[in-house]
A and B are shown apart, each in its own frame.
Chain A
Amino acid sequence: MATVPKLDVLICGGASCISNHSHDIKDKIFEELKKNGIEDEVRVIETGCMGPCELGPVMLVYPDKVFYQRLKPSDIETIVSDHFVKGRPVEEKVLVSETTRAIIEKGQQDTDFFKKQTKVVLSNCGRIDPENIEEYISENGYAALGSVLTSSTPDEVVETIKKSGLRGRGGGGFPTGRKWEFVKNTTNDQKYVVCNADEGDPGAFMDRSVLEGDPHCIIEGMSIAAYTVGANKGYVYIRAEYPLAIKRLEHAIEEAREYGFLGENIFETDFSFDLEIRIGAGAFVCGEETALIASIEGERGNPRPRPPFPAISGLWGKPTLLNNVETYANIRHIILKGWEWYASIGTETSKGTKVFALSGKIKNTGLIEVPMGTTLRELIFDIGGGVPDGKKFKAVQLGGPSGGCVPEEYLDTPIDYETLIELGAMMGSGGVIVMDEDTCMVNTARFFLDFTKSESCGKCVPCRVGLVQLHALLDKIVKGNGELEDLDKLEKLCYSVKKTSLCGLGQTAPNPVLSTLRYFKDEYLEHIQDHRCRAKVCTNLVTYTIVEDACRSCGICAKNCPVDCISGEKGVPYVINQDICISCGTCYDVCPFDAITTES
């Protein structure tokens, strides 16, 4: 008889931890288990993203819920011999409380990072093996589909989703129930459901993590949607930059077919549904729904004018329901726990939870989920741990290239779809990029325009030409050649591009400029009038020099300079060649004697 494992060891297999060599950790654990002869007593499971990417690679050991962080293969020998064999957790690798330095014994629940979170969409991520359908089923997986197919009419499902208040998580926030109703009420012998997993927004990685960590919940959500609107075929459009997500979803689809959750007569009803993956090839605009449809059809991802909306005429001219990954991931929870429960979370207009991806100048980068209505301050300072290295917070960028930057004064605003739009930002897909005093807002606006300008498909003039002109104006200011009248030009042009562009890309691309002009106009003025960049980022406005008296000729600056523009020798102060210097600031950071000064 096989022994029942005494310990469950969950190793994070999200893309971030894998890139931090979590597979080496796993291999090493197997090796050590064998050496100690306890292979049968420990079950090792590779999960999806656990959230705290900053601490990776991470590992959670059940039943004592010990959370290991920043593991190296060399730590494993001791962990296996001391903890797995003798039951004594290896303290120096365990997550400890920041204030008391005490070991967090119960694991995740007691740390600041996890305490303020409410996990609905991410409830399975990092807890189950995404490549084993049985684990999903044991978490009530496919129970929602079963219950819908056997005891609800499509109208009842629409009603439930409408009452739950769920809104599209791709960024626009259109009420999901109403969208389903449109497609359901359109008569056609062929309809499609499509999942938008072309997560192109910079700084957003929740869709990737859900697909990697809990792929079956997307299959289940889409199946329920297909039953409701009357579709028998679905497509998941994933960007090619996410090979692991593609692999895990492919595997999940095969398993679901094997178990009869996809295919003919699901749950012995008349409902038949099958799912295929379509892969992108690197084009941001394909996240726009009409461009995405064109791309699935095998064409250039050019957007089409709306109306007709995809609900009427989408994929191959047929009625098509298009939702985002996170939207589908919510469905099974609403069905299982009821719309009343879902509608009780969140604010007046925005219900449920939202997954956010924290990145940039923030201590705890990673993936988190909070109820709608949580304030930005809680998000960034309580959960995110604030700005590292004692730097000062400057702004938070929300909504990617379609969003905007919000300054400190507005951090106490509860987050929902409406409040963010009022602030000049938007929910977007949930990317939260924190910027500190070292970030130049004008340069940031230029950076976003550089991105949208090159991602514009070129079909309509306002976007194709307008974004190039906006970028040129910003470039002029960043380089110190701006004139006061450029600010008016910028603003006017922003509004024309917004009003006249064909699709969402052009209509929202000026937002980063408008929001920085609104909250950080003084920085624009400084660049233009004083030729000064207070963050010391804009190369043309900053010079780095070595103070002769302070330089001890150690050569560390020269060794670290990425463009080799610093020269010198022992006993003589080093010198920066200003013609080659790119003002990257590396020398400033590495100098042990603070001998390098900046001027702007």
Chain B
Amino acid sequence: MRIDTVLKKYEAKEENLLYILHEIQDGSDNNSLNKKDLEEVAAYVGVPLSRVNGVVSFYSMFSSRPRGKYIIRLCQSPPCFIKGSVNVYEKIKQQLKISEDETTDDGLFTLEFSSCLGVCGLAPAMMINDDVYGNLTEERVVEILNNYRNLED
């Protein structure tokens, strides 16, 4: 989506900054915010670029580095930890050959740690983009990742 289409939807007020950044990032090819976008947003909202950069670097869901098409957010909260999220992490690492905050070479997956996803009843859990997966086991992780890979074929 072109950035002006996003900007046009919101009044030029600082309070809309988070919404604007979310929408630009979601519409980007690589799930991230590039410098040019941020400059345009700053000019539109009427704040210095440093302020916009400050916001982007503060919130963990914004990224100024290119990321994969699917963002895996592995829940790092205690219920997930107690139920073995470490093993899930190891399995994802082994499957995708990436660690925290890295992206696979094919640009498909980025692995991130997330604060509580609020599905503690099904710990350990992760989110891939907007979809939640619970009761994870090492086998299920492989199955889920394969489903996403198959979507691409």
- Using a CB–CB cutoff of 8 Å, the interface residues on chain A facing chain B are 15-16, 18-20, 53-54, 56, 199-205, 208, 240-243, 278-284, 295-301, 357-361, 365-367, 397, 431, 433, 435, 439, 444, 447-448, 451, 455, 457, 560, 562-564, 582, 584, 586
A367 pairs with B15, CB closer than 8 A: no
Please name all residues of chain A whose beta carbon is closer than 8 Å to the beta carbon of B76 when the two chains form the complex: 451
B82 pairs with A361, CB closer than 8 A: yes
In Å, the complex CA distance between A114 and B122 comes to: 19
Extra inter-chain contacts (8) besides given A242-B118, A279-B22, A586-B87, CB under 8 Å: A19-B125, A202-B79, A298-B55, A360-B79, A360-B83, A360-B120, A367-B121, A582-B90
A282 pairs with B78, CB closer than 8 A: no
A366 pairs with B77, CB closer than 8 A: no
Q: Which single member of B21, B90, B118, B120 contacts A241 (CB below 8 Å)?
A: B118
A203 pairs with B58, CB closer than 8 A: no
B43 interfacial by beta-carbon distance below 8 Å: no
A584 pairs with B86, CB closer than 8 A: yes
User: Would you give the 0/1 interface string for B40-62, flagging 1 where the beta carbon is closer than 8 Å to chain A?
Assistant: 00000100000100110011111
A203 pairs with B78, CB closer than 8 A: yes
User: Would you give the 0/1 interface string for B99-131, flagging 1 where the beta carbon is closer than 8 Å to chain A?
Assistant: 000000000000000111111111101010011
Given A202-B77, A281-B59, the answer on whether A455 and B115 have CB atoms closer than 8 Å is yes
B138 pairs with A439, CB closer than 8 A: no
B13 pairs with A204, CB closer than 8 A: no
B146 interfacial by beta-carbon distance below 8 Å: no
A359 pairs with B117, CB closer than 8 A: no
Interchain residue pairs A-B with the least CB separation, the first 10 = A53-B121, A202-B77, A281-B59, A359-B120, A562-B90, A282-B60, A298-B17, A282-B61, A365-B121, A205-B118
In Å, the complex CA distance between A360 and B120 comes to: 8
B14 interfacial by beta-carbon distance below 8 Å: yes
Whole-angstrom distance between the Cβ of A140 and the nearest chain B Cβ: 28
Q: Which single member of A241, A295, A366, A562 contacts B127 (CB below 8 Å)?
A: A241
A562 pairs with B121, CB closer than 8 A: no
B70 interfacial by beta-carbon distance below 8 Å: no
Q: Which single member of A15, A201, A444 contacts B116 (CB below 8 Å)?
A: A201
B1 interfacial by beta-carbon distance below 8 Å: no
In Å, the complex CA distance between A529 and B87 comes to: 29
B90 pairs with A563, CB closer than 8 A: yes
Across the interface, name the chain B residue whose C-beta is closest to A455: B115
A20 pairs with B134, CB closer than 8 A: yes
In Å, the complex CA distance between A357 and B77 comes to: 14
B16 interfacial by beta-carbon distance below 8 Å: yes
In Å, the complex CA distance between A301 and B134 comes to: 29
In Å, the complex CA distance between A278 and B15 comes to: 9
Whole-angstrom distance between the Cβ of B47 and the nearest chain A Cβ: 8
In Å, the complex CA distance between A451 and B51 comes to: 26
Interface residue count on the B side (C-beta < 8 Å): 51
Across the interface, name the chain B residue whose C-beta is closest to A208: B118
Q: Which single member of A278, A433, A455 contacts B79 (CB below 8 Å)?
A: A433
Given A297-B14, A298-B13, the answer on whether A53 and B22 have CB atoms closer than 8 Å is no
Please name all residues of chain B whose beta carbon is closer than 8 Å to the beta carbon of A361 when the two chains form the complex: 82-83
In Å, the complex CA distance between A50 and B70 comes to: 30
Q: Which single member of B18, B115, B133 contacts A278 (CB below 8 Å)?
A: B18
Across the interface, name the chain B residue whose C-beta is closest to A357: B120
Q: Which single member of A298, A365, A455, A562 contacts B87 (CB below 8 Å)?
A: A562
Whole-angstrom distance between the Cβ of A391 and the nearest chain B Cβ: 12
Whole-angstrom distance between the Cβ of A385 and the nearest chain B Cβ: 13
Q: List 30 A-B contacts (CB under 8 A).
A: A15-B132, A16-B119, A16-B134, A20-B122, A20-B134, A56-B122, A200-B116, A201-B116, A202-B79, A204-B120, A241-B117, A278-B15, A280-B59, A283-B58, A297-B14, A297-B15, A298-B15, A300-B58, A357-B120, A359-B121, A360-B82, A360-B123, A361-B82, A365-B121, A433-B78, A457-B58, A560-B138, A562-B90, A562-B94, A584-B87
B135 interfacial by beta-carbon distance below 8 Å: yes
Whole-angstrom distance between the Cβ of B129 and the nearest chain A Cβ: 9
A301 pairs with B115, CB closer than 8 A: no
Given A301-B59, A564-B94, the answer on whether A280 and B79 have CB atoms closer than 8 Å is no
B122 pairs with A204, CB closer than 8 A: no
B91 pairs with A562, CB closer than 8 A: yes
In Å, the complex CA distance between A208 and B125 comes to: 16
Whole-angstrom distance between the Cβ of A562 and the nearest chain B Cβ: 4
Whole-angstrom distance between the Cβ of B49 and the nearest chain A Cβ: 14
Whole-angstrom distance between the Cβ of A294 and the nearest chain B Cβ: 10
Given A280-B18, A300-B55, the answer on whether A563 and B94 have CB atoms closer than 8 Å is yes
B148 interfacial by beta-carbon distance below 8 Å: no
Please name all residues of chain A whose beta carbon is closer than 8 Å to the beta carbon of B55 when the two chains form the complex: 298-300
Whole-angstrom distance between the Cβ of A533 and the nearest chain B Cβ: 15
Whole-angstrom distance between the Cβ of A270 and the nearest chain B Cβ: 27
A204 pairs with B118, CB closer than 8 A: yes
B14 pairs with A298, CB closer than 8 A: yes
A300 pairs with B54, CB closer than 8 A: yes
A439 pairs with B82, CB closer than 8 A: yes
Please name all residues of chain A whose beta carbon is closer than 8 Å to the beta carbon of B61 when the two chains form the complex: 240, 281-282
Please name all residues of chain B whose beta carbon is closer than 8 Å to the beta carbon of A439 when the two chains form the complex: 82
B22 pairs with A240, CB closer than 8 A: yes
In Å, the complex CA distance between A6 and B14 comes to: 53
Please name all residues of chain A whose beta carbon is closer than 8 Å to the beta carbon of B118 when the two chains form the complex: 15, 199, 204-205, 208, 241-242
A54 pairs with B121, CB closer than 8 A: yes
Please name all residues of chain B whose beta carbon is closer than 8 Å to the beta carbon of A300 when the two chains form the complex: 54-55, 58
In Å, the complex CA distance between A455 and B125 comes to: 20
Across the interface, name the chain B residue whose C-beta is closest to A365: B121
B79 pairs with A203, CB closer than 8 A: yes
Given A203-B77, A300-B58, A359-B120, the answer on whether A279 and B138 have CB atoms closer than 8 Å is no
B123 pairs with A359, CB closer than 8 A: yes
Across the interface, name the chain A residue whose C-beta is closest to B116: A202
Across the interface, name the chain B residue whose C-beta is closest to A584: B87
Please name all residues of chain B whose beta carbon is closer than 8 Å to the beta carbon of A54 when the two chains form the complex: 121
Query: Which one of A201, A202, A582 has the highest number of Cβ atoms from chain B below 10 Å of its Cβ?
Result: A202
Query: Which one of A18, A56, A562 has the highest number of Cβ atoms from chain B below 10 Å of its Cβ?
Result: A562
In Å, the complex CA distance between A15 and B61 comes to: 20
A281 pairs with B82, CB closer than 8 A: no
In Å, the complex CA distance between A200 and B61 comes to: 14
B78 pairs with A448, CB closer than 8 A: yes
In Å, the complex CA distance between A449 and B56 comes to: 24
Across the interface, name the chain A residue whose C-beta is closest to B51: A299
In Å, the complex CA distance between A20 and B86 comes to: 21
In Å, the complex CA distance between A404 and B110 comes to: 34
Q: Which single member of A199, A301, A397 contacts B58 (CB below 8 Å)?
A: A301
In Å, the complex CA distance between A457 and B55 comes to: 12
